[in-house]
């Protein structure tokens, strides 16, 4: 076939370095940008085939999110704006790792296995982040799409959630909004204005919300290195503000990550102590707000919060015991949280690192809509229904979105008349620490129970259990990262002795799971 000849010709311009093997990680391929040109071309091919299979537009986002500037990566977006389905991750890995001369065979295998009708049209939306490597890598994706005769639309510089939104809008014939960057801003900013129109906010999303919300923007990408000593991941893991930013005591701040799908809030108090309000605190604020509104509206809808093992124990305890909200724990990676959240009428999901959103079932949206339009209900129920309707509109349900999450949090704080300090005191985080350990092959660690227990290597879980016993209110677990070549260690305890526990568990990993380099050193 003509298109296959084109592939052979074009793929030679995007050759695979011999011997390089990459795995589809927590959210796509991610590594040093120099190793990714062939991956991008091949993901262009795969997205085109996926588009033919689903008879819908597929998204390809070129970004390495919170990773260092020199890395890059790719995320695939399925028709409703969700992450690509897991069976296709396997196809992605096969295609990514096929030797140059076997590429056509690997592609034909996928086409055959998925019974793809190659005469079907294909459409692919492409976006990229601000990394210097992103321009040429997104061109490689576009080359892959055109090699198979697919149509593409290049959105250029967008956030990951914006690309998810575009794909969803396109495939729902505009029901979710208009598939343009302007349409995105208009939708979410208008929703914010509606949601907060009855509260006085002294407190803009850039040009769209000049009057409604005053924002001072730092690290806008015009200078400096992306994510370097700043960004949501830095603030969360280091438990400190971004370097070089002047923060006045009590001032409400938030940080996004490199592709703006994560957000964390923070402030420093008058003593200079740093306070972090992470994904768990956001899930708590949002679920409390929604539960109250559902009660006021008299709507019997099932609400749940979905977390991962990284959720602070205090947040889970507060949600289950004080708020009486159902909490579910899944493996790390938003694709896992997203799927569990879909099982509920209202599913609030957040990773502790600030990646999350809220999903409303179709039935829940309809009930809220009906109530908001019902002329026979009392004022309290009506008001709650209207607030719920406007809340739905401010949320990007396709994926966690730092911009939309920020608008939601700002609206809730304004409506409740709450300061960041008051929000912070809803519950107190257990002191906690996250560390990384380098090992020869992180795949030696296999986990179970939503990654909370290690099954291999032998003796590791036992060692962790024995260490945890020495501390009060303690919990620790280890898992191989899906985005970096490291093993992650998490520990929490009733005091900052969580640092010592995290260090001891790191040593156990180093000794039992083939640590490389120097032994992990204590933190203090
Ligand atoms: C502890 C942690 O924050 N892990 C992050 C990180 O995954 P790892 O598999 O842990 O490297 O990146 C993922 C993609 O952004 C994100 O979903 C996840 O929560
Ligand atoms: Mg990100």
pLDDT at 197: 87
Tell me, yes or no, if 65 is annotated catalytic.
yes
pLDDT at 201: 54
Residue 203 pLDDT level (bands cut at 50, 70, 90)? very low
Would the CB of 262 count as within 6 Å of ligand 1?
no
Distance set, CA 205 to CA 93, 214, 310 (Å): 39, 8, 30
The region of weakest confidence among 70-74, 205-209, 232-236 is 205-209
Given 11, 51, 65, 506, the catalytic residue: 65
pLDDT at 200: 57
pLDDT at 206: 47
Would the CB of 307 count as within 6 Å of ligand 1?
no
Q: How far is 520 from 508, CA to CA, in rounded Å?
A: 10
Task: Measure the CA dihedral 364/374/298/395, to 10°.
Answer: 40
pLDDT > 70: what percent of the chain?
97
**pLDDT tens for residues 243-278?**
988 899 999 999 999 999 999 999 999 999 999 999
Q: Which ligand is nearest to the CA of 487?
A: 1
483 annotated as a binding-site residue: yes
**Residue owning tokens 């055109």:** 146
Residue 202 pLDDT level (bands cut at 50, 70, 90)? very low
Residue with CA nearest ligand 1 atom 9: 482
Give the mutation target among 353, 400, 438 for probing the ligand 1 site: most ligand atoms within 8 A of CB: 353
Q: For residue 27, report the distance from its CA to the centre of ligand 2, in Å.
A: 9
Q: Which ligand is nearest to the CA of 353?
A: 1
pLDDT at 204: 44
Task: Please tell me the number of Cα atoms within 13 Å of 196 on its side-chain side.
Answer: 27
Q: For residue 483, report the distance from its CA to the centre of ligand 1, in Å.
A: 7
Strand intervals (E) in 3-147: 29-32, 57-62, 71-77, 123-128
Q: How far is 250 from 471, CA to CA, in rounded Å?
A: 33
Residue 213 pLDDT level (bands cut at 50, 70, 90)? confident
pLDDT at 220: 84
Q: How far is 439 from 444, CA to CA, in rounded Å?
A: 9
Residue 286: which of 198, 358, 209 has the closest Cα?
Answer: 358
pLDDT at 479: 98
Does 76 have pLDDT greater than 60?
yes
Does 99 have pLDDT greater than 70?
yes
Residue 507: which of 466, 472, 455 has the closest Cα?
Answer: 466
pLDDT at 308: 98
For the chain, the first-to-last Cα distance in angstroms comes to 64
Q: Does residue 501 sit in helix, strand or coil?
A: helix
200 annotated as a binding-site residue: no
Is the distance from CB of 299 to CB of 371 less than 8 angstroms?
A: yes
Distance set, CA 191 to CA 126, 257, 387, 395 (Å): 26, 23, 10, 9
Give me the helix-helix angle, 379-394 and 402-416, nearest 10°. Answer: 160
Token pair belonging to 310:
């990284």
pLDDT at 4: 83
Beta bridge partners, 303, equal 346
In this prediction, residues 137-151 reach a mean pLDDT of 97
Is the distance from CB of 240 to CB of 210 less than 8 angstroms?
A: no
> What ipTM does the predicted assembly reach?
0.99
**pLDDT tens for residues 459-518?**
999 999 999 999 999 999 999 998 888 999 999 999 999 999 999 999 999 999 999 999
Residue 2 pLDDT level (bands cut at 50, 70, 90)? low
Residues comprising the chain, all counted: 524
The region of weakest confidence among 54-63, 221-230, 279-288 is 221-230
Atom of ligand 1 nearest to the CA of 261: 15
**Residue owning tokens 């074009």:** 10
The region of weakest confidence among 56-60, 125-129, 131-135, 215-219 is 215-219
Is the distance from CB of 391 to CB of 195 less than 8 angstroms?
A: yes
Q: For residue 376, report the distance from its CA to the centre of ligand 1, in Å.
A: 48
**pLDDT tens for residues 372-408?**
999 999 999 999 999 999 999 999 999 999 999 999 9
Atom of ligand 1 nearest to the CA of 27: 14
Q: How far is 346 from 391, CA to CA, in rounded Å?
A: 12
Domains in the chain: ranges and CATH: 2-177 (3.40.120.10), 279-424 (3.40.120.10), 432-512 (3.30.310.50)
Long-range CB contacts for residues 135-139, cutoff 8 Å, separation at least 24: 136/37, 137/33, 137/36, 137/37, 137/40, 137/62, 137/72, 137/74, 138/40, 138/62
pLDDT at 198: 79
Q: For residue 258, report the distance from its CA to the centre of ligand 2, in Å.
A: 6
- Report the chain's mean pLDDT, rounded to a whole number: 94
**Residue owning tokens 């964390």:** 264
pLDDT at 199: 79
Residue with CA nearest ligand 1 atom 17: 333
Beta bridge partners, 480, equal 487
Does 208 have pLDDT greater than 80?
no
Q: How far is 46 from 287, CA to CA, in rounded Å?
A: 38
Q: For residue 8, report the distance from its CA to the centre of ligand 2, in Å.
A: 33
């Amino acid at each position: 076939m003509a298109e296959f000849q084109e592939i052979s010709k074009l793929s030679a311009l995007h050759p695979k370095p011999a011997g390089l093997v990459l795995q589809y990680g927590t959210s796509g391929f991610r590594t040093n940008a120099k190793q990714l040109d062939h991956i991008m071309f091949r993901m262009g091919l795969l997205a085109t085939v996926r588009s033919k299979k689903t008879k819908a537009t597929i998204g390809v986002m070129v970004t390495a999110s919170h990773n260092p500037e020199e890395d890059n990566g790719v995320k695939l977006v399925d028709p409703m704006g969700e992450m690509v389905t897991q069976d296709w991750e396997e196809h992605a890995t096969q295609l990514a790792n096929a030797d140059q001369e076997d590429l056509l065979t690997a592609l034909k295998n996928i086409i055959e296995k998925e019974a793809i009708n190659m005469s079907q049209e294909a459409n692919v939306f492409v976006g990229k982040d601000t990394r210097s490597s992103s321009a040429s890598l997104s061109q490689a994706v576009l080359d892959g799409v055109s090699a198979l005769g697919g149509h593409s639309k290049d959105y250029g510089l967008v956030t990951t959630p914006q690309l998810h939104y575009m794909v969803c809008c396109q495939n729902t014939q505009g029901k979710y909004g208009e598939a343009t960057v302007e349409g995105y801003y208009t939708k979410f900013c208008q929703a914010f204005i509606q949601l907060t129109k009855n509260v006085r906010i002294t407190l803009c999303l850039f040009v769209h919300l000049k009057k409604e919300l005053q924002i001072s923007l730092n690290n806008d990408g015009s200078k400096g290195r992306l994510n370097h000593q700043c960004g949501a991941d830095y603030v969360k893991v280091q438990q400190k503000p971004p370097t070089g930013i002047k923060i006045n005591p009590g001032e409400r701040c938030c940080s996004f990550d490199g592709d703006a799908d994560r957000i964390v809030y923070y402030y420093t108090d008058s003593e200079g102590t740093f306070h972090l309000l992470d994904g768990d605190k956001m899930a708590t604020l949002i679920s409390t707000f929604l539960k109250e509104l559902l009660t006021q509206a008299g709507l019997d809808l099932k609400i749940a919060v979905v977390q991962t093992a990284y959720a602070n124990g205090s947040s889970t305890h507060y949600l289950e015991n004080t708020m009486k909200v159902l909490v579910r724990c899944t493996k790390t990676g938003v694709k896992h949280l997203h799927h569990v959240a879909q099982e509920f009428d209202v599913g609030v999901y957040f990773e502790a690192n600030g990646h999350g959103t809220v999903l409303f079932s179709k039935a829940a949206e309809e009930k809220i809509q009906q109530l908001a339009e019902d002329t026979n209900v009392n004022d309290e129920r009506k008001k709650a229904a209207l607030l719920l309707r406007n809340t739905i509109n401010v949320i990007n349900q396709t994926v966690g979105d730092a911009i939309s999450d920020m608008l939601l949090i700002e609206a809730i704080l304004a409506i409740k008349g709450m300061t960041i300090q008051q929000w912070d005191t809803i519950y107190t985080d257990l002191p906690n620490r996250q560390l990384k350990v380098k090992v020869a092959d992180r795949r030696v660690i296999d986990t179970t129970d939503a990654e909370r227990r290690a099954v291999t290597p032998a003796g590791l879980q036992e060692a962790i259990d024995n260490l945890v016993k020495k501390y009060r209110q303690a919990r620790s677990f280890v898992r191989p990262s899906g985005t970096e070549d490291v093993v992650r260690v998490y520990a929490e305890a009733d005091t900052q002795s969580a640092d010592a526990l995290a260090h001891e568990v790191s040593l156990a990993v180093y000794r039992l799971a083939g640590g490389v380099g120097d032994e992990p050193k204590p933190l203090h």
